[in-house]
Chains A and B, each alone.
Chain A
């Protein structure tokens, strides 16, 4: 079994793999068929490929045997009707892949649709109907859907029609099987509709008719041959509305325990002993932060490489002495990586390494040493910085910060104020800061913009910086039109948000949405001393 089969990865690929194998059941290698595939048959609704045994299934998902058995029991033997199921549990606990693999194990036909990809009712309805009607979008039909339906009422009519059709087909096949040979391994006449990520449906409509509609679908269809399976991240109690429905039967997936996680990580490891000693070191501290499989696996991958660094031979079986040596080499990395756990390394490994080293020096101002990874004009950068300042600093401080005499003198003036009053003011400002970026009118933004561009030039002159690439003109007229243009493009990129107009002043107010890190980064790229101007 390769890496693809571990739960967290199969999750998203199962269905596409399924259709890939199911569409060409006889020969995948035959390339001519791919261009002109067989017309889909009713058998494509089953998972396809080799059905797996129950023992394989249970060993494939460590720590999930009770849930697997529960679902298998609830699905029941061949041709037995079923009440709707509601499978729920936290993220990356193997809900989707287990349900799909069980359907593969039982060799039952099903229709899978995820409410992530089908992001509104119409797409959801049409995707289900497409699958049921064996309709495939391609260039010939102009990538159109089999049926066009937007309303639940149309959907129920179409669905009932399609389902009865499919079920009758199954029954006919079953009869044929009965007459020819003993019907032992047939697919039965049940068909299952799997709805994944149902929790997203709650956000679809404000009038909230779709949730009760889906949960009442079983009663509306009145077809005993249809089994409904809902998969959700959140528990059934988060779905209550004043509409009400008969609750489906819940199946609960708890998060993985530490032992289960160990078993999952130990799968597919070439050097089990070495990895197990690695897990002894890292698993416990990381489990205090998160027990989500996907996050842990991304965090562990670079760590294991680091753990193996002193080793020349990865095949080696570690003894106690070596474990101790590895541990002492590795220990300093653990605490720092605990705080890096959720970072997804987009850079190459060595670069990440460098960044970590600089960060560990403990200087928070070095955080953004990475270059900006997108291009922006200098004017836009200044505008972004001034918007950040306007959002961050209280308007009352503008005068003291941007006075022509410069910031440092004012700081001294302020110190003279009574200590108590200052402290009081400071806590008030702190609270304001915690509430998030404030709004500001356009005039204030432009004033700050003018100030900092002039200050920046002074600053650069004083410091005798050579590469001052400021292409700004001092003439006001040219500047203004350009600035307004830049402002609107920043608004479009939602770096700055145009808020509702202030009821008293009647002018539009803006708010900056950039984080401090990004603002510092931008400021550094234009060599503007932003931290001097931040009120803390």
Chain B
């Protein structure tokens, strides 16, 4: 029971490290020219020198922008406990200006123990924000605005960005605006009046190199010695991990996986999968865990879909393909049916119209085909135009992989185009 328990504990520990990678990434960020130190320096200087600043953090999705920012903010909140208040907005939630001001007012009220009025109008809220900025400036308190999904705030009239950046032009206020975005051209999306008020500081977050990813992986997967886990187990675990990581086959898998997308989050996701496949009987990670994780994450959804199709559905797919080759491309169910009747004439797979229509609907449900028009709800299914969502090569591959695809279909697929 005791042994079982500490294995569970080890898994839980690694899983929580993966789900909350702050602690691990923090260890990584001690070199002077990494984004962590740069960002920290910028924000610290604007806090200590009581000036305004605006920064953009750019990088592909999942490259750890927010995590690094959170680490920096956490550190700063410890260092200057009474001098900072952080307002967090997300473009997904607050891209509408009205909503954004309301949320700012709400968070400001929470922070400063004021009563938030739900009924306050747009003007009230924006004036409240400017007044608060002034007050905080007088009290030498910096307000940090974190705008996640910054590019979404640039939709519409950009009133929020304008009034924020405009308020920062005055000497009395003291604020930092940090935009986080996946679009590298995020600053180009700004209106002229906003762009001119924006200080063009940008930090680029790049996916880690292969060596760095591997170091990160080792960091996350190894168990710490100082916790309540028995020492010999931890040693054994870490030793096995080291030999596995050094293995060439392991490197191959990681390499193959990272070729597809090498951001930090992507790697974490893979590790999560592998760790959850860990065998709790022996309690150690093995190469096999990573192999199963790789095969379950890296799938070909369209190919899987074709493999799931019944023979009749395959017939319809091949019909559609043939119609495409014949350049009768805007085709609907009726034309498919005609082609199908030509094709299935001699075979045993000749079914009635109703059955075919249902199979056709299954294909629509599987999203192997779709309607070309988005509206057209007035038409019934038979008359609406459809198109194939898979290429000829994919279909060919799918037919080959299908376990009970009739031979005639292969022939029909090849001949006449």
Contacts and interface: CB of A to CB of B under 8 A. Distances in A.
A290 B349 CA distance: 12
B276 A73 contact: yes
Nearest to B298: A250
Interface residues of B, number: 63
20 contacts: A70-B296, A76-B15, A78-B8, A80-B11, A80-B16, A81-B20, A82-B15, A83-B19, A90-B308, A220-B92, A235-B367, A246-B269, A249-B269, A252-B296, A287-B310, A288-B310, A290-B358, A291-B308, A437-B383, A499-B378
B301 A237 contact: yes
A345 interface: no
B11 A77 contact: yes
| Most B Cβ at <10 Å: residue of A90, A436, A437 | A436
B312 interface: yes
B383 A81 contact: no
B116 to A, nearest CB: 11
A317 to B, nearest CB: 31
A281 B382 CA distance: 32
B66 interface: yes
Nearest to B261: A247
Nearest to A336: B352
A213 B93 contact: yes
Contact of B103 (A73, A153, A245): A153
Nearest to B155: A207
B62 A246 contact: yes
A342 B18 contact: no
B192 interface: no
Nearest to B13: A80
Contacts of B378: 497, 499, 511, 513
Contacts of B95: 209
B342 interface: no
Q: Which 10 pairs, one residue from A and one from B, show the smallest C-beta to C-beta distance?
A: A436-B383, A235-B301, A339-B352, A434-B334, A153-B93, A81-B19, A255-B308, A288-B311, A80-B12, A342-B358
B399 interface: no
A49 B128 CA distance: 53
Interface string B259-275: 00000011011001100
A251 B299 CA distance: 10
A116 interface: no
Interface string A482-513: 00000000000000010100000000000101
B138 interface: no
Contact of B354 (A288, A343, A436): A343
| Most A Cβ at <10 Å: residue of B276, B296, B365 | B276
Contacts of B280: 77
A24 interface: no
Main secondary structure of the interface of A (DSSP, over half): loop
A219 interface: yes
| Most B Cβ at <10 Å: residue of A77, A245, A433, A437 | A77
Interface string A287-311: 1111110010000000000000000
Contacts of A235: 299, 301-302, 304-305, 367
Contacts of A497: 378
Interface string A423-443: 000000000011111000000
Interface in A424-478: 433-437
A245 B91 CA distance: 13
Contacts of B310: 287-291
Interface of A: 70, 73-74, 76-83, 90-91, 151-153, 156-157, 209, 212-213, 216, 219-220, 224, 233-238, 244-247, 249-252, 254-255, 287-292, 295, 338-339, 341-343, 433-437, 497, 499, 511, 513, 515
Contacts of B268: 83
A341 B358 CA distance: 10
A434 B335 contact: yes
A515 B380 contact: yes
Contacts of B131: none
A260 to B, nearest CB: 13
Contact of B16 (A81, A153, A220, A287): A81
B210 interface: no
Interface in B86-116: 90, 92-95, 99, 103, 106
Given A152-B92, A246-B269, A339-B355, A236 B276 contact: no
A247 B366 contact: no
B12 A220 contact: no
| Most B Cβ at <10 Å: residue of A91, A238, A433 | A238
Given A76-B15, A254-B307, A234 B273 contact: no
A76 B11 contact: yes
A209 B380 CA distance: 29
A76 B92 contact: no
A287 B297 CA distance: 29
B411 interface: no
B195 interface: no
B273 A74 contact: yes
Contacts of A236: 301
